[in-house]
Amino acid sequence: MRHLADRWEAMGQSRICVIGDLILDRYQWGSAERISPEAPVLVLKSLGEEDRLGGAASVATLLRGLACDVTLIGLVGADQEGHCTSHLIDELKIDSEFVLVDPNRPTTWKTRILGSANRRQPHQLLRIDRESCAVPDEATEQALIGALTASIPNASAALISDYGKGVCTPKVIRTVFELAKQYCIPVAVDPAKRVTFDRYRGAPLVTPNRTEASAATGIDIRSVSDARLAGNQLCLQWGVSTVLLKLDREGLLICRANEPAIHVRTTPRTVCDVTGAGDMILAVTGLCLASGWFISEAAEVANIAAGFEVERVGVSQVSRSEILAVLQSRQSRSTEHKIISSRTAEDLAARYREEGRKVVFTNGCFDLFHAGHVHCLEQAASCGDALFVAVNSDESVRRLKGSGRPIVAENQRAAILAALACVDHVVVMEGDTPHELLRAIHPDVLVKGAPYQINEVVGAEIVRAYGGEITITKTTPGLSTTLLETQIINQRGVSTLRED
């Protein structure tokens, strides 16, 4: 993570072009501590109101918080809400030259009623929307295309924020793709929920959430494995180069056609309000791509920024310094912090479950660590949110494998496991079976590698008793510790003969 922190700190000030539906978000705050005597409804004692920018204007707002220059392209109505939206855009010093007024449509606005009780965090009670999803007339569409032609050549990246309110017509989207290709700048599209995915055909990058990806593919995305299938189908069916699939608490998944997906897992967060998390992912991804980063690197940082966003009410800016602090913290964290005691493992697992996260457990000797182990652990990690790995102590390995084992000492084996990004925690296991740890950690999923069968997995009866899952991962042919040990012995024998 060191290079990400250094590159993020050194990142320049990019100009990003944002195209899409402009929305005015109105918040009404209040205290909701009693029921009306007139009807069985809450009484909200008003404590204030606030207007914020939403939709594509939300993406622009977040980019301004990240110290970007932003050109915004979209439509507002010739009404009071349109005037308010334009005023907020100007206050944030967003380039509003191409925020066009369409007298034939109302400005889209959403009013959220939020109430709190006993001084707790406020929560949404009701949302009221006013909008038109009609496609703009031909003259307005041509004006939008003219705005794209004037602005994209001066941009470092183009972001399409489609909320399905009419601005992102197929012709507008196609123009963005063509101009971006002509001027060699990256493009990312946040797709709308209730539109045909055909309008994004050939997109360089799309960032759907699981609902949008499910609607486009017909795949019910309940797991990371389902998400892999959906992401691959989006690429193949619609000619999309890359899919950055948003899986809320399960993080992000990077998919390309017929390539292994990359799972960027999230860190546990106290979720206050998911509003703006998708906009934040689009904003940070666009900024990183504009600076020449790989999509995997961009996704790492976007995941961090989205974590900040869900902890706050409504769309709220996150600064570069906040993200840098997390990157630097991860940079300074040694692998030793992943190696924990069984008591710490028990406490962490309990906390994860309270946060609604899925705990995964696997165990083994992991002597003479090889690529097969890596593949097995990556598959195990994809089964949930936090992977605990128990590694047999030296004494335990001797009892199980004989006096010649282990070849690698327990502290070294634990350090190797802790160095893997897919592994969250490592526990040195003194016993010959994982029974004691399984009762303490209480994993949702117990994973073991083939050739074991489910009925042969040690500890499976404990996990099954409380309703947990047992999963068998695929092995990598030709890779095993025993085979490696045999090859080493044979090589040493040949070498000794040559020396003699």
Q: For residues 336 and 417, give the distance between their C-alpha atoms in angstroms, rounded to a whole number.
A: 10
Q: For residues 235 and 233, give the distance between their C-alpha atoms in angstroms, rounded to a whole number.
A: 5
Residue 273 and residue 312 in contact, taking contact as beta carbons nearer than 8 Å: yes
What is the CB-side half-sphere exposure of residue 385 using CA atoms within 13 A? 21
279 is catalytic: yes
Task: Name the active-site residue from 95, 190, 273, 279.
Answer: 279
Query: Which residue, 85, 81, 83, is CA-closest to 60?
Result: 85
Q: For residues 246 and 252, give the distance between their C-alpha atoms in angstroms, rounded to a whole number.
A: 5
Query: Which residue, 301, 235, 303, 230, is CA-closest to 269?
Result: 303
The structure tokens 């860190």 sit at 267
Q: What counts of helices (H) and strands (E) characterise the chain?
A: 17, 19
The DSSP line for 393-430 is: -HHHHHHHH-TT--SS-HHHHHHHHHTSTT--EEEEE-
The burial of 187, by beta-carbon neighbours within 10 Å (0-12 exposed, 13-18 middle, 19 or more buried), is given as: buried
Q: For residues 72 and 100, give the distance between their C-alpha atoms in angstroms, rounded to a whole number.
A: 10
Element spanning 113, H or E: strand 108-116
Annotated active-site positions, please?
A: 279
